[in-house]
Amino acid sequence: MSVRGRAFPFSALVGQERMKTALLLNAVNPVIGGVLIRGERGTAKSTAVRALAELLPTQAVVEGCPFGCDPGEPDALCADCQARREQGEDPLPVVTRRMRVIELPINASEDRVVGTIDLEAALREGVKRFEPGVLAEANRNVLYVDEVNLLDDHIVDVLLDAAATGVNVVEREGVSISHPARFILVGTMNPEEGDLRPQLLDRFGLCVDVGSIHNVEQRVEIVQQRARWEDDPVAFAEQHAASDDEIRQSIAVAIDVLPKVEVPRPVLSVVARLSISLGVEGHRADLVCGRAAGALAAYQGDEEASVHHIMQVAEMVYAHRRGLSEAETGSIATLLNRIMSGEGRRAAGYQPEQDITPGKHVSRLPGDESFEDEAAEESCCG
């Protein structure tokens, strides 16, 4: 929720560092595949997602296109943009906009989600008149589904198809229209209200579990921050504008350097062994883990992903995919320490004492400190 149109500043969020990290990594590299946030009521799930909107980068879009087509990818243009080019409008006019968070209403009908075709116009005039839906708005943006586990099955199937293919196809009475639908899928849910279908669960690149904060100081700070925002959201936003802008710039720099970041084969070998040790089915976890580690490296100003980065993203990658329980395998940190031994550590660039302070142009991701504490505990307790 927002007050007078103002989203709560991302930098003012207290606690839930892993959730914020997962959102930021997807902003750096949307190919990661989105994030599922599981947690009880009142744990700032929706607040964090809506706050992310203010940090998303700008993008070039074709002017007048209802799907926000990317002018730099002519092969991915919608039918209307392709027709405009064929009619001599080349190059297509371009405008700049900021990525947005598009919310899917919980009770949305299938027509509202996929869009509708005016069959009367198609039969009478021979014209395919299309009224875009939520998936059209979501193209090249963030699609936010609150209470995703409560969606009707047929709506889930539509989301699955679009997420898998990057295309939304609408067919009515022999009339077919398709348009690009590539989006970052962000879902929130309360596990107490029901589970998520396994087919949709695996589509989320990352998954984080959030709970109530039990630190007294942090709980007091949450109440005070919220009260200040409700009293004067404009002044509160201005107070945190510099911090939000720093995160925004860090994301922009990370997006720019991401194509140059390498994930070496020895690091990917560690990921593969970890997936096998956890009893993971399929290969999506390996792909996502490599991409998330690369995004983290880019955010921290590193030219190459290492096992140190894998350690920081692994819990989010495998939380919803592991086939064996922690009681059977031990923690992910323990497994990685077993995998990384002797020459294997040095070959994959793992240095427990490594200083992960990022480069001067980027900020430390939330969650780094908590991971270092966990690693230290693993080292002491064995």
Which active-site residues does the annotation give? 284
Answer yes or no: are the C-beta atoms of 106 and 146 closer than 8 Å: yes
Answer yes or no: are the C-beta atoms of 330 and 277 closer than 8 Å: no
Which of 282, 209, 164, 217 shows the shortest CA–CA distance to 45? 209
| DSSP secondary structure letter of residue 349 | T
Kindly report the backbone phi and psi dihedral angles of residue 143, in degrees, each rounded to the nearest multiple of 5, phi listed first. Answer: -100, 115
Answer yes or no: are the C-beta atoms of 41 and 212 closer than 8 Å: no
Return the structure tokens found at 263. 């994930």
Provide the b/e sequence for 309-321 (b: ≥16 CB within 10 Å).
bbbbbbbbbbbbb
Crossing angle between the packed helical segments 265-277 and 284-299, to the nearest 10 degrees: 130
Answer yes or no: are the C-beta atoms of 67 and 180 closer than 8 Å: yes
CA distance 46 to 187: 9
Kindly tell me the burial class for residue 366, based on how many C-beta atoms sit within 10 Å of its own C-beta (0-12, 13-18, 19 or more): buried
Q: Give the other-Cβ count within 10 Å of 111's Cβ.
A: 13
Cβ partners under 8 Å of residue 357, min gap 6: 364
Kindly tell me the burial class for residue 261, based on how many C-beta atoms sit within 10 Å of its own C-beta (0-12, 13-18, 19 or more): buried
Answer yes or no: are the C-beta atoms of 254 and 297 closer than 8 Å: no
Return the structure tokens found at 194. 């029901």
Q: Which helix (H) or strand (E) holds 379?
A: helix 368-381
Please report the DSSP string for 7-54 in residue order.
Answer: PPPGGG--S-HHHHHHHHHHHH-GGG--EEEEE-TTSSHHHHHHHHGG
